[in-house]
Amino acid sequence: MKRKSVSYAKWGYIFLAPFFIVYCIFALYPLIQTFYNSFMSYVIDRGTIDDIWGSATGAKETTTITWGGLSNYSAVFSKDETLVQSFLNTIIMWVIGFIPQIAVSLLLATWFTDLRLKIKAQGFFKTVIYLPNVIMASAVAFLFTCLLIRDGALYNFFGPLAGDSPAGGYLSILDKVWGTRATVGFINFLLWYGNTTILLMAAIMGIDPGLYEAAQIDGATPSQTFWKITMPLIRPILSFVLVTSMIGGLQMYDVPSLLTLDQGNPQGKAMTIIMEIQQRKDSDVGKACAVCVIIFIISAILGFITMFGMDDSREKKKKRRKV
Amino acid sequence: MTGSTEIVGQETGKTSLLIRRIVAYVVLVILVFISLLPFYLLFINATRDKAQIGIQWYPGSALIENFRKLFAASTQVAFGNVYKALLNSLIISSCASVLCVYFSALTAYATHVYQFKLRKAADTFILLIMMVPTQASAIGFYRMMISLNLIDSYIPLIIPAIAAPATYYFMKQYMASSLPLEIVEAARIDGCGEFRTFNTIVRPILKPAFAVQIIFTFVGNWNNFFTPRLIINAREKYTVPLVLSAMSHAGPVERDVAIFYLYMVLAILPVIVVYLFLSKFIIRGVALGSVKG
């Protein structure tokens, strides 16, 4: 016999309501609008040269919105050279930051979890390497600008690398394409390697210690243990780190923006796609929307890859357990 | 781990372990140096005069002078109200983090405790939207704020924090591990209303999760540059990152790097202090959030 009970279902809906109302107004509706406008040729002519620090609502702006089909998308991929270049820049700067980041993080995570190595003062090291991650990225970028420009504290070290001389016109490495890109990559490395180390440590500590003991008894060298045990077993977290870092890299904005005064100079080679969105928000709205949609699609694809990757590994584990 | 395994090749094993240990410590010390050097230089340079150039390792004596210059009227004209920007950032970040954490917990509570038709659907939906970056809807958001006349208002910076999928996810996990449904049942039997149960019984249980997430969202909002850049144009409404950006645009004449350094110190010091006190919990939170798979 089932007793008649009070239904609390309505409270579920009431408690969910604020989240969904806010989400629909401030995220879902704008997202749909962005998709819609990405198919429009949506250009705002403000009459004068844009002052990026000027007011958003100019007096004599004229807006033209016509159906544009896929023209915005073809602009992003081929016709509009600055957009294509910005895409490339974003990828290059992400790679420059990510490769040292993953290498150093793997090394540190292995050392911190190595039972024979017994690193002392781990709390201190972890606190220090994670510290840059909580600091305002735009402040770190501006700090590096101030350190590297002429008369900056680190100018004497890095100026000569850029061919600095009275004859050469006192260049800092921020006047060179590779110098700016390397600086952006380095800052991203600095901000994120601590975070990655901690994620990888959590993964490595989840591995059965018996495996390491067995390897040690069998006389495996540390590098063998690393490549044959650690690497295969942390692959799900590695793919998670890779994908989240790629999504983050796609959104790279604060650092290159502060470092290059929003211009992405030298020669637009440090411009990222998010900087393009900000620059075109009041003029070339259609193309900016197309860039947004592309970011959405890439993030969605990457997100699903990790989800399936992780599910896959979990299923394998379950199967193994059953056997 | 010890004893029997170390007898085999004890001598070679010990020297190689020693070498590995030395290498590890050397690399760690270098990394600590690299991580801290920029911030050390930042603090040193904030105490130095505009005229002292190049690298120097000791603090200067111009700190008070720099403070005076930073809050001088000419600085306000050039870069916006630097003092009020700190206050603006504080207001936005506090409001946003409190709203974010409270409503995320409420949402997680809804799908954790109540049985209703759309429960599973709502949960999956929130997980899916977690992957959508804010930037993906940025232009639509910006255009909408223009048409709603919310440019230069803090509403678009604060209210959207209510819908935070990542915080929801954290809360949900925390509830699954430490909120027994029996407590809710007991409260009901005692005649406690649903809303009151959440506020007076559940919320205290969730305190540790609240603390971690408030810190994370506060820092996230304090450091946010992208959204304020989209929404805020008026100088008196600037947040800290916007002032820094305005400073980076300074020409060679008005450029006084010393006060820029000082302002960067003011921008990051609160976060560093909070971090140093709570780093243990923060790092644990990062590790927890990661192993969601």
Task: Clarify whether residues B41 and B78 are in a common domain.
Answer: no
Task: Clarify whether residues B251 and B197 are in a common domain.
Answer: yes
DSSP A63: E
pLDDT band for A178, please (50, 70, 90 cuts).
confident
Radius of gyration of chain B (CA): 25
Whether B78 contacts B250, CB under 8 Å: yes
Q: Which two three-digit tokens encode residue A89?
A: 């820049």
Q: Is the dihedral of CA B236, B240, B244, B245 positive or negative?
A: negative
Contacts of B122 (CB under 8 A, 6+ apart): A16, A20, B110, B111
pLDDT band for A323, please (50, 70, 90 cuts).
very low
Task: Clarify whether residues B249 and B208 are in a common domain.
Answer: yes
Nearest to A101 by CA among A113, A112, A109, A89: A109
Distance CA(B223)–CA(B220), nearest Å, equals 5
How many inter-chain contacts (A to B, CB under 8 Å) are there?
314
Please indicate, yes or no, if residue B122 is contained in any of the structural domains.
yes
Which domain CATH number covers B204? 1.10.3720.10
Task: Clarify whether residues B39 and B102 are in a common domain.
Answer: no
Task: Clarify whether residues B284 and B165 are in a common domain.
Answer: yes
Nearest to A262 by CA among A108, A65, A51, A77: A51
pLDDT of residue B51: 64
Please indicate, yes or no, if residue B227 is contained in any of the structural domains.
yes
| Number of structural domains found in chain B | 2
pLDDT greater at residue A310 or residue A223: A223
Task: Kindly list the residues from chain A whose CB atom is less than 8 angstroms away from the CB atom of residue B109.
Answer: 15
Q: Is the dihedral of CA A218, A224, A226, A228 positive or negative?
A: negative
Distance CA(B20)–CA(A119), nearest Å, equals 11
Q: Please give the average per-residue pLDDT across B97-113, as a whole number.
A: 94
SS (H, E, C) A258-321: HHCCCCCCCCCCCCCHHHHHHHHCCCCHHHHHHHHHHHHHHHHHHHHHHHHHHHHHHHHHHHHH
User: With an 8 Å Cβ cutoff, are B137 and A31 in contact?
Assistant: yes
Q: Is B138 exposed, middle or buried (0-12, 13-18, 19+ CB in 10 A)?
A: buried
Task: Clarify whether residues B101 and B18 are in a common domain.
Answer: no
pLDDT band for B3, please (50, 70, 90 cuts).
very low
Task: Clarify whether residues B161 and B94 are in a common domain.
Answer: yes
Q: Give one DSSP letter per residue of B95-160, joined into a string.
A: HHHHHHHHHHHHHHHHHHH---TTHHHHHHHHHHHTTS-GGGGHHHHHHHHHHTT-TT-SHHHHGG
Length of chain B: 293
- Other Cβ atoms less than 10 A from the Cβ of B184: the count is 21
Task: Clarify whether residues B34 and B98 are in a common domain.
Answer: no
Distance CA(B175)–CA(B91), nearest Å, equals 29
Q: Which two three-digit tokens encode residue B187?
A: 């409260």
Please indicate, yes or no, if residue B124 is contained in any of the structural domains.
yes
Task: Kindly list the residues from chain A whose CB atom is less than 8 angstroms away from the CB atom of residue B243.
Answer: none
Structural domain of B199: 73-290
Nearest to B245 among A206, A258, A313 (CB): A258
Q: Please give the average per-residue pLDDT across A49-75, as a whole number.
A: 67
Please indicate, yes or no, if residue B190 is contained in any of the structural domains.
yes
Listed by number, the residues of chain B in 153-172 with a beta carbon closer than 8 Å to a beta carbon of chain A are 156, 159-160, 162-163, 168
Interface test with B, best of A32, A61, A115, A131 (most B CBs within 10 A): A131
The residues pairing with A62 across neighbouring beta strands, listed in sequence order, are: A45
Nearest to B139 among A23, A37, A134 (CB): A37
Distance from CA of B244 to the nearest CA of A (A): 7
Distance from CA of B248 to the nearest CA of A (A): 6
Distance CA(A66)–CA(A64), nearest Å, equals 7
pLDDT of residue B122: 92
ipTM for the assembly: 0.85
Searching chain A, which residue's CA lies closest to the CA of residue B27?
A108
Whether A91 contacts A179, CB under 8 Å: no
Searching chain B, which residue's CA lies closest to the CA of residue A273?
B135
Please indicate, yes or no, if residue B51 is contained in any of the structural domains.
no
Distance CA(B20)–CA(B14), nearest Å, equals 10
Domains in chain A (CATH in brackets) are: 9-73 (no CATH), 79-322 (1.10.3720.10)
Task: Clarify whether residues B110 and B166 are in a common domain.
Answer: yes
pLDDT band for A60, please (50, 70, 90 cuts).
low
Residue A25 has pLDDT above 90, yes or no: yes
Searching chain A, which residue's CA lies closest to the CA of residue B18?
A117
Average pLDDT, chain A: 83
Please indicate, yes or no, if residue B129 is contained in any of the structural domains.
yes
Whether B213 contacts B104, CB under 8 Å: yes
Question: What does each C-alpha distance from A145 to A148, A152, B43 come to in angstroms?
Answer: 5, 8, 15
pLDDT of residue B144: 92
Task: Clarify whether residues B41 and B77 are in a common domain.
Answer: no
Listed by number, the residues of chain B in 244-283 with a beta carbon closer than 8 Å to a beta carbon of chain A are 244-249, 257, 260-261, 264, 267-268, 271-272, 275-276, 279-280, 282-283
pLDDT band for A170, please (50, 70, 90 cuts).
low
Q: Please give the average per-residue pLDDT across B165-185, as a whole number.
A: 88
Q: Which two three-digit tokens encode residue A101?
A: 């980041």
Give yes or no for a cis peptide into B241 (omega within 30° of 0).
no
Task: Clarify whether residues B78 and B24 are in a common domain.
Answer: no
Please indicate, yes or no, if residue B65 is contained in any of the structural domains.
no
Distance from CA of B211 to the nearest CA of A (A): 16
pLDDT band for A167, please (50, 70, 90 cuts).
low
Please indicate, yes or no, if residue B68 is contained in any of the structural domains.
no
pLDDT of residue B94: 94
Nearest to A247 among B27, B133, B233 (CB): B133
pLDDT of residue A69: 77
pLDDT of residue B25: 93
pLDDT band for A115, please (50, 70, 90 cuts).
confident
Task: Clarify whether residues B30 and B156 are in a common domain.
Answer: no
